Amino acid sequence: MRERCRAHGVQLRPHMKTMKSVEAARIALGATSGPITVATLKEAEYFADHGFDDIFYAVCITPDKLARAARLARRANRFSLLVDNVDAAEAVAVSAARESVQHNVWIEIDCGEHRTGLPPGDLAVIRIARLLSENPHTTFAGVATHGGQAYGAESTSEITRIAELERSAAVDAAMRIRNAGIACPNVSAGSTPTAVHGQSWDGVTELRAGVYMTGDLFQAGIGSCAMDALAFTVLATVIARNTERGQVVVDAGGLALSKDRSTAGHAFDAGYGRVLDINGNAAFGALKIDDVHQEHGEMHAVSPAVLDKLAPGTRVRILPNHACMTAAMYDRLHVTIDGSGAIAEVWDRVNGW
Amino acid sequence: MRERCRAHGVQLRPHMKTMKSVEAARIALGATSGPITVATLKEAEYFADHGFDDIFYAVCITPDKLARAARLARRANRFSLLVDNVDAAEAVAVSAARESVQHNVWIEIDCGEHRTGLPPGDLAVIRIARLLSENPHTTFAGVATHGGQAYGAESTSEITRIAELERSAAVDAAMRIRNAGIACPNVSAGSTPTAVHGQSWDGVTELRAGVYMTGDLFQAGIGSCAMDALAFTVLATVIARNTERGQVVVDAGGLALSKDRSTAGHAFDAGYGRVLDINGNAAFGALKIDDVHQEHGEMHAVSPAVLDKLAPGTRVRILPNHACMTAAMYDRLHVTIDGSGAIAEVWDRVNGW
């Protein structure tokens, strides 16, 4: 992703919401502590604790979080907030004055995801940019957008099209702001699928992608990465095997795997996760977890040949549908490097809020 | 639940998998540290740390967990394991001898859930009971079953029928063991729905229910508790409101609420959770979270009257579909008692494995 960004002449601001790990951030950035994106204030605090000083909290800020945000602004050289309405921008400016901090603030642009953000042509964009530029306690950082609708794309060409919507919406908003005589230094875009399949990022200054660091079954399914590039598995043990029912049960259920079913309804549907052997090989065909209870995962209609290989006590690795959701169930990551399965490093994670 | 069990003349062994909290266990048991059920060894260790000494780890044990189980057996007076096959029973006995501990061991009976466990009439039940009774390092504790199929019941009368299947399967297995000349001291059954709707627990000595402590939308939906008895909510703040789209976005997404969709396909489908006002009142009709991203929850087709009440910054409470899954996203519980919303106590939880 770093090379892809370099080729496009844009900065990578990796989104740490999947990994939530300092070690992963350093690898993503090439052994530096460069700019990052976070999804929670707790992530921001954790990365600030570890010397990261350019942290973009890329969820629109609410008033109840401003005191905590001010503490972050005092600690990190460049801690940034996101807003999508005038009231929020005013609340940020008032809080910054009261707390005697300078807030870097981005405006969220909606490029078609229709989650949060303003359409590029909305006059509020200019009003907010002006407010943030003129207020002595705020610095207008730029515009940011997220082509999250790419997750629903049916083909890589559709993802490419959405990437262009993402680029053009962000650049359009920046242009309108600049035409109003306001400097718009940064233009931020990106999700993993659009960062991978975007053809041009002209006018964009940075990309925020995150799940690319490990990939998952959903990302492989929509073409963001190859199946053999998935880095994240859940280690589980067979609890029970019922040859009559063709059923195998492992000690990884809804909590260990998450209840994410993002692959549902796709040709690449993998239940609650695809089951590999202990070495990470697809030794059991398309075997998947068909049903989960809190601590049990069930495989159904398992062939006699595969049943033979899955005696109680056998260890397996399960590829998750959605790395962000599954990783959040763990407070650390066990890192294997050489294919032996030996744990080379243990990385802490920061869950919660 | 304590009163219900007392009326039936059975012991309550509350399942701590939902609350994972010492304070909750003490309330469930009536201020004692009586018998409990746990779903992970980490829960067992946490409760042993807090003086609980009758702990039943009610997931079939696998060989890789036996060293850890032995440490628990040394610490808790009565730490119990579960098995459903002869190999596992033998592995437990071998480990107990090697580790110089005495293991209390239950046999899991399948009463129709078809997850793990042996049918009551399976000859392996007698073989395992004999092995556990005769081996000097194991104590045969009894038989345990779980009518988890009650979660799929369409009516309370069906739950009552499943409760009777649960009771009769466990009692049948115990009788067969006793007829073989082996003492079977305990007969354990129960899930929240069957514990609530079971008419008779004759022959059963204890019930293991857990989610009844807080309830959730699914349990209310299937009739385990009333909607106004739900004790667990996620506190969230409105991030954005789009009156044109009739959309409200809160800062509680797939991580804060879990991706559990157990109410899907039911008349009581509540999306990813039902939205209440800050006081816990259903002030917004049937408003629910329709879609989640990692940190965003979206409500769609919100009426103009409700939109008026949900300006950005407004705090709401969200009832979860499945308390066990949602609670697992938090490392502590904020307890309110008097309806004021003031936090009276903070309870730690033990997540992970």
Read off the pLDDT of residues B28-55 as tens digits, 9 standing for 90 and up. Answer: 999 788 999 999 999 999 999 999 999 9
Closest approach of A312 to chain B, Cα-based (Å)? 7
Distances (CA, A) of B74 to A147, B99, B103, B309, B339: 55, 9, 9, 57, 43
With beta carbons under 8 A apart, name residues in chain B contacting A256: 353
Q: Inspect the interface and report whether the beta carbons of B255 and A115 lie closer than 8 Å.
A: no
Which chain B positions have a beta carbon within 8 Å of A84's beta carbon? Answer: 240
**Average pLDDT value for chain A:** 97
In this predicted structure, what is the pLDDT of residue A341? 84
Nearest by CB to residue B295, choosing from A39, A88, A249, is A39
Give me the residue label for tokens 């793990």: B116
Q: Which residue of A has its CA nearest to B18?
A: A294
CA distance B91 to chain A (A): 10
Nearest to B115 among A64, A296, A330 (CB): A296
* pLDDT for res A104: 98
Mean pLDDT of the A117-135 span:
98
Residue % of chain B over a pLDDT of 90: 97
Q: With CB atoms and an 8 Å threshold, state whether B239 touches A328.
A: no
pLDDT of residue B154: 87
Distances (CA, A) of A122 to A110, A134, A169, A342, B298: 10, 19, 11, 54, 21
**Confidence at residue B73, expressed as pLDDT on a 0 to 100 scale:** 97
pLDDT of residue A340: 82
pLDDT on residue A32: 80
- Model pTM score: 0.96
In sequence order, what E strands does chain A have?
A: 11-12, 36-38, 54-57, 78-83, 103-109, 138-145, 186-189, 206-207, 234-242, 247-250, 274-277, 291-292, 297-299, 315-319, 332-336, 343-348
**Contact across the interface for B313 and A258, Cβ inside 8 Å:** no
Whether the pLDDT of residue A339 is over 80: the answer is: no
Task: Take residue A90 and report the two structure tokens written for it.
Answer: 């005013």
User: How many pairs of residues across A and B have Cβ atoms under 8 Å apart?
Assistant: 122
Which pLDDT belongs to residue B24?
Answer: 97
**B9 min Cα distance to partner chain A (Å):** 29
Contact (CB<8Å) B115/A249 = yes
pLDDT of residue A286: 95
Considering only alpha carbons, which residue of chain B is nearest residue A237?
B62
B291 φ/ψ angles, rounded to the nearest 5 degrees: -150, 150
In this predicted structure, what is the pLDDT of residue A336?
Answer: 93
CB contact under 8 A, A87 and B116: no
Nearest CA distance, B227 vs chain A (angstrom) = 23
HEC readout, A45-76: HHHHHCCCCEEEECCCCCHHHHHHHHHHHHHC
Instruction: Give the gap in angstroms from C-alpha B242 to the nearest C-alpha of chain A.
Output: 8
pLDDT digits (tens, 9 = 90+) for A306-326: 999 999 999 999 999 999 999
* pLDDT-above-70 percentage for chain A: 100
Q: Which residues of chain A are within 8 Å of residue B259 when distances are taken between CB atoms?
A: 258-261, 325
Between chains, do A64 and B237 touch, taking CB under 8 Å as contact? yes
User: Which residues of chain B lie closer than 8 angstroms to A325, CB-CB?
Assistant: 254-255, 259, 294
pLDDT score for B294: 98
Looking at residue A110, its pLDDT comes to 98
Q: Do residue B254 and residue A295 have CB atoms under 8 angstroms apart? A: no
CA of B300: which chain A residue's CA is closest?
A115
Chain A interface, mutation test: which of B251, B272, B290, B298, most A Cβ atoms within 10 Å?
B251
Give the tokens for residue A102: 């300078």
Instruction: Quote the pLDDT of residue B340.
Output: 82
ipTM score assigned to the predicted complex: 0.96
| pLDDT given at position B76 | 83
Q: pLDDT tens across A147-202, in order?
A: 999 999 989 999 999 999 999 999 999 999 999 999 999 999 999 999 999 999 99
pLDDT of residue B135: 98
pLDDT of B194 reads 97
pLDDT of residue A170: 98
Q: Which of A63, A239, A245 sits opposite B62 (nearest CB)?
A: A239
Nearest chain A residue (CA) to B261: A259
CA A246 to chain centre: 37
Give the mean pLDDT of A235-263.
97
Closest CA–CA distance from residue B204 to any residue of chain A (Å): 24
| A contact test, residue of B292, B295, B322, B333 with most A CBs within 10 A | B295
Nearest Cβ partner of A62 from B245, B258, B313?
A: B313
Query: CA B267: distance to chain centroid?
Result: 23
Positions of chain B with pLDDT under 50: none
User: What is the distance in angstroms between the Cα of A247 and the nearest Cα belonging to chain B?
Assistant: 9
One-letter amino acid identity for B2? Answer: R
Q: How far is B331 from chain A (nearest CA, A)?
A: 8
